[in-house]
Amino acid sequence: MELKLQNGDYVSDGAAGLRRVEGAEALLQRVLFRLTARRAAFPFWETLGSRLWQLGTIPPAGRLPAARQYVAEALAEEPVSVEHVTLTEQGSRGFLTVELRYGSTPLSVTVEVP
């Protein structure tokens, strides 16, 4: 079991403790953290995080292949397989949707990218 995070803060269980998550919910929480944290920002865990923050510096034609590579790097230590990566742009905002498989369970996450 892991502690539940929401917007970077731990979530109260309504009593005197903190809410916990497990299974697919805990996995999705870790996946989101790995995709949004900057890779190498943690000195004692250099493989944690992704390089997705660099997508804005890559020419548009190269962003999707780079996004696929960055997602694979970020999630290499998790028990998931990356099935599909989609990058959509709306004005100056980009959204990355990652479809995963956790055993026989399909999962999907979307994160905003530069």
Q: What is the pLDDT of residue 14?
A: 79
Q: What is the pLDDT of residues 25-50, one digit of tens each?
A: 889 999 999 999 999 888 888 889 99
**Helix or strand run (H / E) with residue 102:** strand 93-102
Residue 14 backbone zone (phi > 0: left; psi -120 to 50: alpha; other: beta): left
Q: What is the pLDDT of residue 7?
A: 67
Q: What is the pLDDT of residue 49?
A: 94
Residues (pLDDT < 70) of the chain are 3, 7-9
